[in-house]
């Protein structure tokens, strides 16, 4: 299993050939998702047993049946949830990293990898206007980043006050579900900030705190820089000012929208992000990196380190290395893949300007799609898009009609565009991210609602 014999040689050729073909897909087709497990068993039954199988047979099972049963999130026709669009460069480097078994825990083991990752974190921190001292690590996703950051926020609050008190986190009703999960895990109660227009403002936060009457219980304020369902950026400047008045930790969840920091046309919407105590952005979303990759940054990483650093006698050696920067110290993890490296490679190959252009393309697509929607009398735009998300309704449609429309589009391999809900109503939603999504496709999708 670990030596290079004739079987290994054959596998190298056939697996790399498969990977090469996948990489060469341009554009990536959509493929289909959910299938009857019995159909998948036709090729997988009996493969896992005491005896091994010919690698080409196993690869054949993957290629013939399993791979086509996965909707390609990196297809320009994938317009649901939050799509992915990893660059070819990032995918290639991801393969290389997999082959190298890089253990990204510590400077002692992986200084080269961590140095490159930290350069990417610095680039993102600069875009956000965070101080030179800012730093952090890459984690698996926005959920892991939000959890790791709010663990620090809770500890900071606990250190400041008497024990046994309840702690809460002020958060908008449109914050991501991972924030709700995080609060449940940490046994922190939410103080929900109600808004007039789904956007948390300083005034809305202040009103919620005043109505609640227990400001000293607020350990943290969470703002969203790009809500998942609608792409709304909270008023980060005013919200951060109120958070500071409260003496609360200010966390910005930019898992989806944080990439907009690289888009000059909308950069002003993020003003105030420079006040964040912690900030998350997912490169596996709009910074065109492969799954899974989230950048987690702290204004003062030494605080995060005092919370997350794991102490064990066998780990003393990693903490005694000069010039150490141990990514493991900045989140809830120990062993970690050096998942910032594909982005590092791709950024270095293509340059930041190419990223800016690709992000601006998705913003333009959203604006053009909004105009197309407004030009059809059977459609109604729900709100002007801020980022790449467009919400709209088909007048007089029932929820079932949205589902039929979306199912038909997937069946015909036109697009993956599942409906969502807005203020309790089933509506349609584009999530633009892939820079190669053509406007003709957008028109076809809309015309199929006529
Ligand atoms: C705003 C926001 N926060 C957090 C997350 C969770 O990120 P992940 O799925 O990478 O854990 C998402 C995912 O879409 C998101 O949009």
Q: What is the C-alpha to C-alpha distance for residues 407 and 386, in angstroms, rounded to an integer?
A: 27
Query: What is the CA(186)–ligand 1 centre distance, in A?
Result: 18
Q: How far apart are alpha carbons 197 and 309 in whole angstroms?
A: 40
> pLDDT tens, 251-264?
999 999 999 999 99
Half-sphere exposure of 108 (CA within 13 A, CB side): 9
Buried b (16+ CB within 10 A) or exposed e, 266-296: beebbebbbbbbbbbbbbbbbbbbbbbbbbb
Q: What angle do CA 400, 403, 408 make, to 5 degrees?
A: 125
Q: What is the mean pLDDT of residues 196-220?
A: 96
pLDDT at 33 over 90: no
Nearest CA to ligand 1 atom 6: 142
pLDDT-derived band at 137 (thresholds 50, 70, 90) equals very high
* Position 280 confidence tier, pLDDT thresholds 50, 70, 90: very high
In sequence order, the 6+-apart residues with CB closer than 8 A to the CB of 229 are 174, 389, 391, 420, 422, 429
Task: Kindly report the pTM of this predicted structure.
Answer: 0.97
Phi and psi (nearest 5°) for 217? -85, -5
Query: What token pair was written down for 203?
Result: 């005034």
Banded model confidence at residue 126, pLDDT cuts 50, 70, 90: very high
Which among 129, 188, 184 has a CA at the least distance from the CA of 153? Answer: 188
Which tens digits make up the pLDDT trace of 226-250? 999 999 999 999 999 999 999 999 9
| Ligand 1 center–CA 293 separation, angstroms | 11
- Tell me the pLDDT tens digit for each residue of 289-298: 999 999 999 9
Question: Which protein residue has the closest C-alpha to ligand 1 atom 2?
Answer: 255
136 vs 153: CA distance, rounded Å: 15
Atom of ligand 1 minimally distant from the CA of 284 = 10
The mean pLDDT value for 151-174 works out to 91
* Distance from the alpha carbon of residue 281 to the mean position of ligand 1, in angstroms: 9
Mean pLDDT throughout 97-119? 96
Q: How confident is the model at residue 324 (pLDDT cuts 50, 70, 90)?
A: confident
- The Cβ of residue 70 has, within 10 Å, a number of other Cβ atoms equal to 11
Q: Probe ligand 1: pick from 177, 183, 228, max atoms within 8 Å of CB?
A: 228
pLDDT band at residue 222 under the 50/70/90 scheme: very high
Residue 162 has pLDDT above 80, yes or no: no
Give CA–CA dist 91/97, Å, rounded: 10
What integer is the mean pLDDT of 370-378?
98
Element (H, E) at 306: helix 301-308
């Amino acid at each position: 299993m670990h030596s290079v014999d004739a079987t290994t040689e054959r596998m190298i050729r056939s697996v790399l050939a498969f990977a090469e073909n996948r990489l060469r897909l341009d554009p990536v087709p959509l493929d289909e998702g959910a299938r009857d497990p019995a159909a998948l068993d036709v090729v997988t039954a009996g493969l896992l047993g005491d005896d091994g199988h010919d690698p080409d047979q196993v690869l054949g099972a993957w290629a013939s049946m399993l791979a086509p049963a996965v909707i390609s999130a990196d297809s320009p026709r994938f317009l649901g949830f939050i799509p992915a669009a990893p660059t070819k460069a990032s995918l290639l480097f991801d393969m290389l990293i997999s082959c190298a078994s890089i253990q990204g825990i510590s400077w002692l083991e992986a200084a080269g990898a961590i140095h490159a990752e930290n350069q990417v974190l610095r680039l993102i921190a600069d875009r956000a206007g965070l101080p030179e001292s800012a730093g952090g690590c890459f984690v698996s996703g926005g959920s892991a980043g939000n959890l790791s950051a709010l663990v620090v926020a809770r500890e900071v609050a606990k250190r400041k006050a008497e024990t046994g008190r309840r702690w809460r986190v002020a958060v908008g009703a449109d914050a991501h579900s991972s924030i709700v999960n995080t609060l449940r895990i940490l046994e922190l109660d939410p103080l929900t900030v109600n808004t007039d227009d789904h956007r948390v403002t300083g005034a809305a936060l202040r009103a919620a705190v005043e109505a609640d009457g227990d400001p000293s219980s607020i350990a943290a304020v969470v703002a969203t820089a790009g809500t998942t369902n609608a792409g709304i950026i909270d008023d980060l400047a005013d919200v951060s000012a109120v958070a500071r008045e409260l003496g609360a930790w200010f966390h910005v969840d930019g898992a989806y929208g944080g990439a907009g920091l690289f888009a000059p046309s909308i950069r002003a919407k993020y003003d105030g992000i420079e006040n964040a105590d912690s900030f998350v952005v997912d490169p596996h979303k709009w910074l065109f990196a492969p799954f899974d990759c989230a950048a987690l940054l702290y204004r003062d990483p030494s605080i995060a380190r005092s919370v997350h650093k794991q102490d064990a006698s066998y780990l003393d050696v990693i903490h005694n290395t000069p010039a150490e920067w141990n990514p493991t110290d900045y989140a809830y993890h120990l062993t970690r893949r050096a998942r910032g490296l594909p982005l590092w490679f791709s950024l270095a190959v293509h340059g930041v300007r190419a990223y800016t252009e690709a992000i601006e393309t998705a913003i333009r697509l959203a604006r053009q799609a909004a105009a197309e929607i407004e030009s059809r009398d059977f459609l109604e735009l729900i709100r002007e898009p801020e980022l790449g998300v467009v919400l709209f309704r088909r007048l007089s449609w029932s929820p079932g009609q949205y589902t039929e429309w979306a199912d038909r589009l997937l069946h015909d391999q036109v697009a993956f565009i599942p409906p969502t809900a807005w203020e309790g109503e089933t509506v349609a939603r584009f999530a633009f991210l892939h820079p190669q999504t053509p406007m003709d496709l957008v028109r076809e999708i809309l015309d199929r609602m006529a």
